[in-house]
Amino acid sequence: MGLSFTSLEFCIFLGTCLALARSLRKVSAQTWLLVIFSYIFYLSFGALGVLVVTLSAVAVFHIGRQLGSLSDPDIRNRWLWAGIAVNVGPLAFFKYSAFILDNVASVLQPVGVRFTFTHHPVFAIVGLSYFSFSGMSYILDVYYEKIDPTQSISEYVCYLVFFPKLVAGPIVRAGELLPQLRKGLQFNAQDFEAGCAYLLVGAIKKLVIADQLTGHVSMILASPQQYSSFTLVQGLLGYTVQIYADFSGYSDMAIGCARLMGIRLPQNFLMPYSSVNVAEFWRRWHVTMSSWFRDYVFLPLEIGGRGTRNANVRIARNMIITMLLCGLWHGAGWNFVLWGGLHGVALAVYQWYAGRRQRRLQQAAGSTFRFGTLAARLLTLSVVMIGWILFGTSTLASAFTYLWRILTWAKDGIALGSPYILPLTAVVFIAHLLINKDRNLIEELGSYSVPTRTLTYACLLLILTTLVPSEAVPFVYVHF
């Protein structure tokens, strides 16, 4: 469904967009061209999403201008809530209405109140969570006077629907993208090379790693009761690698598409499986989303709760609330809520522990191969992988069955041997262990000598062309 970054059709689409954009000199013309191509791209996923994003864009643009021109606090507050409603309303209706009605029906049924409804009353809209959060951050940043509202509707619409980041992020804020759009698209050899490198690495992560794992991993996650515990462990390892390679591959390709135009999108993955604690994991996993929840949910909760006597209790409560909302953002299901709650509790426990063992934690983070560092990484990865069971299975019952069969080491069931899971897991985990997690090798590649770069690109192309599977799989996070 829709144009995929890994398809030939998208390559033609992107090439046409770049060629036309390069022929234009006026910034306004370039902006409108990006809007047109973004709408073409989004139309491939369905017309309803185009209608919703357009109505939202027009409404938020005018609300932003009102917020920028008014000084009366009460009136500005009303416009703020209107802006939040415009962004949250479609999200609540299209994504959560069935989930809410299901749970209301379950609560009322024991007291004799029954009602029926169509289980899926609305259509799913691709990218709804992402452009809703982009619009909300714009309204909040204008309200708190972090940015000035744009006076150009084409500029705002382009910010909202810019096709590289539209359906699965990164979640780019207006203060990052609007200044670049105002300067116009920049085309130079360095950005073009970096963009191609991001696209190449992202394609390898997606096609060579994630898509090779999808078949066996999906079967194991779908029916955990049918497989032996060893097979379930393989499935968990495979899903841990698959979701990272798939989503970070998408982010790399989105960054690469924008970079070809001279536009820099923020990094979204910073070697997350090398983290030594769960707080660091969330500074490295889906960075733009975790920073969004930090700035627009956690910090306002902290500011609003400053009068709480026990600071540790306040911080723990706000972390758990933030992560519960983060889990719900990922999907309308209790498995996602519990996944968020697990990470919220883990963050709260770490926060409490860090306040008492600061020196030991600094020592553990100081060396890659210290026993304490390796143990901290293993503990963090264990928490993350338990969370992935909740994230990857379709229901809470399946998740609990999956976890229980591993804990009891069930030997009955199918023993599935996958030729991909363990080798690809080893490759990804070793890379996280050995590569400096604060380096960006793609960005550094441009500073190497021409022979080194040529050999590197040739090797990457060889890997891509020889190991790509016969059929591509849709990106995982497109569904969120």
Per the DSSP assignment, residues forming a β-bridge with 462 are none
* Residues designated as active site: 330
Q: Find out whether 213 and 242 touch, Cβ atoms under 8 Å.
A: yes
Query: What single-letter DSSP state applies at residue 477?
Result: G
Look at residue 152 in the predicted model and tell me its pLDDT. Answer: 94
Look at residue 475 in the predicted model and tell me its pLDDT. Answer: 83
Neighbouring residues of 376: CB distance < 8 A, sequence distance ≥ 6: 276, 277, 361, 364, 365
Cα–Cα dist 88/97, whole Å: 12
Is the pLDDT score of 362 beyond 80?
no
* pLDDT (tens digit per residue) in 176-196: 999 999 999 988 999 999 999
Torsion angle of C-alpha atoms 149, 151, 157, 162, degrees rounded to 10: -70
pLDDT confidence tier of residue 367, bands split at 50, 70 and 90: low
* pLDDT (tens digit per residue) in 10-39: 999 999 999 999 999 899 999 999 999 999
* pLDDT (tens digit per residue) in 148-181: 999 999 999 999 999 999 988 899 999 999 999 9
* pLDDT (tens digit per residue) in 273-332: 999 999 999 999 999 999 999 999 999 999 887 777 788 889 999 999 999 999 999 988
| pTM, full prediction | 0.91
pLDDT confidence tier of residue 116, bands split at 50, 70 and 90: low
Cis check: omega of the bond before 90, within 30 degrees of 0: no
Look at residue 360 in the predicted model and tell me its pLDDT. Answer: 58
Q: Find out whether 335 and 390 touch, Cβ atoms under 8 Å.
A: yes
Look at residue 122 in the predicted model and tell me its pLDDT. Answer: 52
Q: What angle do CA 322, 326, 327 make, to 5 degrees?
A: 120
* pLDDT (tens digit per residue) in 220-279: 999 999 999 999 999 999 999 999 999 999 999 999 999 999 999 999 999 999 999 999
